[in-house]
Structure 1
Amino acid sequence: MDWSGGREALVVCSDRSMSVGITVWDMVSGDQLLHIPTCAASPHGLLCLREQFLVASQIHRHGSLGGGAIFIWPLNKPQSPLRNYPMEAIGPVSCSKDGVYIVGGAPSGNAYIWEVADGRLLKTWRAHHKSLTSMVFSDDDSLLISGSDDGMIRVWSMISKNKRFCLFLEKFEMIHFCELLINLDGSLLDIADCGRFPSLFHSLLEHTSSITGLLSISGSSSPVLVSSSLDGTCKVWDLIRGRLLRTRVFPTAITAIVLDPGEQLLFSGSADGRIFVSMLDTGLVVDPFKVPEDRPIVLNGHNRSITALAFSRLGLVSASRDCAAHLWDVASGVIIRRFNHPKGAITNMVVIPKSSLLSVTNHQRFSNQFRVSLLDKYPQPGNSSMGMITLLPLCCSHRVHLPTIGFQSTVSLNQQILDLEQECTPGAIQMKLETSIENRMWAARMTKHVMEMNKHLQSRLLDLMQNRLLLSADSTAARKRKRAMLESSRIQEEEQSQLPSYQ
């Protein structure tokens, strides 16, 4: 990774007002490099996509009408953001490690998955009963972990159940069954099977308050999840077994967590501004020479709640609601640099290579193409013609090797079904049946979404009408009181004028 000599930039934003925007500082000099107006991101609502784009979910004021908003800015050229408007407000956002997919969580408990290149909304589902507060992919992107306001953590498998088509291959007077693994673009997600993913893998219920942070690491023998909560604990989980390994208790609510680059130290930011430094003990490997830790090291420098923690090449970076971000020398516990943000409390922070802000050359543009499209508001049918599907040749032996199979478009699939239908094979009937069921499922989901939106809008309209009637009744009563007062004063004036005057 070429980071322009190792120079980095710090990107922060607030949830106070859209006018505050995004501020970008040079990590070494502290100089402001860039200011992007019109942004107020929800907590965990800012991310850097492929070191080329900033993505931010915009705050949704309570009681306001309409859906949510997700803005996407290219870093290497100044231009207006790509404005996306999902069906509802989006809070936390995350992306897969390769930047192919973006996920978002809503206050309603719904989760959304988009494909970045063409903007397709691949799936929306009810992930939690309460508002989502944090979302993260596992290291290999095979799992999605979500946390909610009620302390529940859910682990979702992003690998769909393999579709199995039975093609009857007649050769040597025998019938051989071949199972075809459907994978639309060679990735883990199966778009044609999007009605079935993600499937619930685990529900983790040990936290008793809102989830504030989720970290996924590969671990020495098994993938590990580290979670933090307002209940004052950090917990370490075995992701595969869904088993709690360790619990670390702190004297106050934990609001943000991060691991050092070596994944040995856990930094836990608290509601009172302290940052606790402790050894990460996964419990998966027993170390007989390990000395038990009595108490964590504490970094003091903020006077309000820690909202975000990150690591740069220069050290630990912390952001707080005290309108400041600090760069720390972890070894000495000393603040190297302070970044003041007087426009409002910092609620989101990411560290990016400073080279991401530079204009790309023609060579870079050619060799590192990455397209971002408008994100769909509604899910599309799973058998879109843009998808890719793996197919076996019509005529092949039972010794066919899967690595030699090429990719064909869904149009080719339909043509192959047509060819098989003309031969009246059972495989064609099976394919046609699965396609029909898929289309019906998509239509049912769309109908449900429309009904939910209509119900939501009706509720909003009723609230507005009720408020308007209350205001109208209040104004009518005020006018009546005013007329009564005027009438009373007029009568008094007439009575006074009729009294005899004495010279």
Structure 2
Amino acid sequence: MSTSSRTEIVLVASPDGPITAHDPFSFGPPLARFSTATAAATIPRNGLALVGPRSVQLIAASHISPSTAACSVRLYSWWSPAPALSLPVPEPVAPVAATPDGPPHHLFCGGLSGRIHVLSLPSGDLCRPFTAHTHSVSCLAVNDDGSLLISASDDGTIAVFPIIHLLDEDPAVEVTSLYTISAHDAPITCITSGPGGCNAAIVSSSLDGTCKMWRLADGVRMRTLTFPCGLWCVTTDPIDSQLYTGGSDGKVYVVPLIKERVKEPTKRVIWESPHSSGGEVMAMVMANDNENIVTAYDDGAVKIWEVKSGLMISTFCVQGGSVSDLIVVRGSGVHGVGGSGVPVVSGFAERELQRKGSEVWELEKRLSEVREGRNRGLDLAEDAMDVYRRSPIRDSF
């Protein structure tokens, strides 16, 4: 069994191979492989998400069969390379995003029709779908306080929805966006939300060669950055001071966003490895307390960069020949992953951390019900006391 001393693990999805877990700072083999269960199923771009509480996070992955158009969302635990659950969806879906709080937890799945489907977990029940765009949904994001769903499309539009309205089961309640804006002249490839809840800034990238910054509260455009090629991914640091975007030319572009740090309005830095294979930058994520950027390429290469110096410090290749998505697992209590997908856990309550995800979610659900019942009981008691205080019977004692 291989182990890692790091508390961060990089998950890499390939359209033509398994999901693999890596220590980004080790040159060894993958820590774990998660099977797609069938060679005919592929994981599309933006098709990975983490679901559930940090101690028992599950990996959600959308799957599409190019030959049969069969589709599903599969959930993987760290305890097995095979899917723990396979959840059917009514149409092929690509991007997925999950609510941060629960239970229940909800997974949003963007369909090729422009509709978004909502799965309630762990039951897998399909909530009411709704139309978000006229073309395929290309990327989804949930803001940091879990109140808003941000959706982007191949038609160049961005739509923002209050999540509380999406979970309303009353069919008479129509699902409408907070706003929808025409954001880009080509498909939107990535969207990310910064800190600040509803007052955050969001950044979108597009094949039209631009990154744009928007005010999440009302969709007002704050800034436009133009690049010499189409863009596949974008991210910012935790304080929105630096923007990083990956181009179809294989380069990483770094742009300062805070005015005090911008000596020239167009000043930017370009990261390019000395032995570039020419692959397009398909995904990127910050790691190691935001000291590093991990980038993935369509030729299967994964590269780790040092943010401070802009130097590439390591690289490895994944099975499958290309990369469709990349995410980092942080702070889950997992210190390493065995070759079969078994985590190495240390510290307090090791036995509890090794419970199955479904067991923990069921316990959380029951605790939530107990809390709700207790609150209802307190409300009824307060109402009864209020009635007693106003009753004339009270004065006769």
Name the TM-score class by shorter chain. Answer: 0.7 to 0.9
What is the alpha-carbon distance in structure 2 between the residues aligned to residue 366 and residue 395 of structure 1?
A: 39
Secondary structure of residue in 1 paired with 2:156 = coil
DSSP 3-state at the match of 2:189: strand
Tell me the equivalent position of 1:305. Answer: 280
Structure 2 distance, partners of 1:232, 1:355, is 39
CA 1:96 to 1:145, structure 2 compared with 1: closer, same or farther past 3 Å? same
Taking a change above 3 Å as real, the CA distance of residues 196 and 138 of structure 1, as seen in their structure-2 partners, is farther
Deviation readout 1:82-121 (Å, 9 max, x if unpaired): 1112111111101112362110011111101122132222
Structure 1 pair 116–194 and aligned structure 2 pair: CA distance change class (3 A): farther
Distance 1:221 1:201, change over 3 A: closer
* Change in CA separation of 1:89 and 1:77 when aligned onto 2, cut-off 3 Å: same
Quote the Cα distance in structure 1 between the aligned partners of 2:305 and 2:86.
Answer: 35
Tell me the distance in 2 between the aligned counterparts of 1:288 and 1:25. Answer: 37
Equivalent position to 2:361, from 371, 379, 390 = 371
Distance in 2 of aligned mates of 1:75 and 1:289: 42
What corresponds to 1:325 in structure 2? 302
Match of 2:138 among 90, 113, 133: 133
| Aligned positions of 1:104-503 closer than 5 A | 104-160=109-165, 190-193=167-170, 196=173, 198-219=175-196, 222-281=199-258, 291-301=263-273, 302=276, 303-313=278-288, 315-353=292-330, 354-355=334-335, 357=337, 358=343, 361-365=350-354, 370-371=360-361, 393=380, 396=383
Equivalent pair of 2:254/2:270 in contact (CA under 8 Å) = yes
Q: CA distance change for structure 1 residues 191 and 150 in 2, over 3 Å: closer, same or farther?
A: closer
| Residue matched to 2:8 | 8
- Cα displacement (A) at 1:288: 7.0
After superposition, where does 1:9-88 map in structure 2 within 5 Å? 9-15=9-15, 17=16, 20-31=17-28, 32-38=30-36, 40-50=42-52, 51=54, 52-61=57-66, 64-65=68-69, 67-88=70-91
The alpha-carbon deviation at position 296 of structure 1 amounts to: 1.1
CA distance in 2, matches of 1:44, 1:197: 28
1:151 CA drift (Å): 0.5
Q: Quick one: structure 1 residues 145 and 13, their matched pair in 2 at CA, closer, same or farther if it must change by over 3 Å?
A: same
- Structure-2 change in CA distance of 1:103 and 1:34 (3 Å): same
Q: Which residue of 2 aligns with 1:379?
A: none
The alpha-carbon deviation at position 221 of structure 1 amounts to: 9.3
Identity percentage over the alignment?
27
In 2, the alpha carbon distance for the partners of 1:128 and 1:12 equals: 28
Contact 2:5 2:336 in 1 (8 A): no
Identify unmatched segments of 5+ residues in structure 1. Answer: 161-188, 282-286, 373-384, 401-503
Partner SS state of residue 151, structure 2: strand
Q: What amino acid maps onto 2:188 in structure 1?
A: I
Q: CA deviation at 1:298?
A: 0.4
* 1:37-80 Cα distance to aligned partner (Å, 9 max, x none): 2263110001222452111101231x625x41111110134554
Please say if residues 307 and 321 of structure 1, whose CA atoms lie closer than 8 Å, have aligned partners that are also in contact.
yes
Q: Which residue of 2 aligns with 1:437?
A: none
In the alignment, the residues of structure 2 paired with residue 288 and residue 331 of structure 1 have an alpha-carbon distance, to the nearest angstrom, of 18
Quote the RMSD (CA, aligned, Å): 3.1
Distance across 2 between alignment mates of 1:88 and 1:11 = 25
Structure-2 separation of matches of 1:336 and 1:250? 25
Offset of residue 198 of structure 1: 4.3
**Maintained 8 Å contact 1:310/1:351:** yes
Instruction: Describe the SS at the equivalent of 1:64.
Output: coil
Gaps of 5+ in 2: 338-342, 363-368, 388-397
Larger radius of gyration: 1
**How far did residue 5 of structure 1 move?**
5.2
TM-score (norm 2): 0.78
Tell me, in whole angstroms, the C-alpha distance in 2 between the residues paired with 1:41 and 1:220. 30
Cα separation, 2, equivalents of 1:220 and 1:86: 30
In the alignment, the residues of structure 2 paired with residue 261 and residue 237 of structure 1 have an alpha-carbon distance, to the nearest angstrom, of 16
Q: Which position in structure 2 is the counterpart of 1:90?
A: 93
Q: What SS does the corresponding residue of 1:370 show, helix, strand or coil? A: helix
Give the distance between the partners of 2:134 and 2:179, measured in 1 at CA: 15
Instruction: Say which is worse superposed, 267-276 or 3-12, in terms of deviation.
Output: 3-12
2:394 is matched with none
User: Structure 1 residues 395, 370: CA separation in 2 closer, same or farther (over 3 Å shift)?
Assistant: closer
Q: Distance in 1 between matches of 2:353 and 2:197?
A: 36
Deviation digits for residues 136-190 of structure 1 (CA, Å, limit 9, x no counterpart): 1111111111111110111111233xxxxxxxxxxxxxxxxxxxxxxxxxxxx75
Contact in 2 for aligned 1:7/1:28 (Cα 8 Å): no
The CA distance in 2 between the partners of 1:289 and 1:14, in whole Å, is 37
In 2, the alpha carbon distance for the partners of 1:290 and 1:308 equals 26
Shift of 1:337: 0.9
Following superposition, the deviation at residue 260 of structure 1 comes to: 2.2
Distance between the aligned counterparts of 1:342 and 1:365, measured in 2?
29
Q: How many residues align?
A: 346
Q: Does the 8 A contact of 2:189 with 2:205 survive in 1?
A: yes
**2:390 corresponds to:** none
Q: Secondary structure in 2 aligned to 1:362?
A: helix
Q: Distance in 1 between matches of 2:284 and 2:162?
A: 27
CA contact (8 A) 1:321 1:345 kept: yes
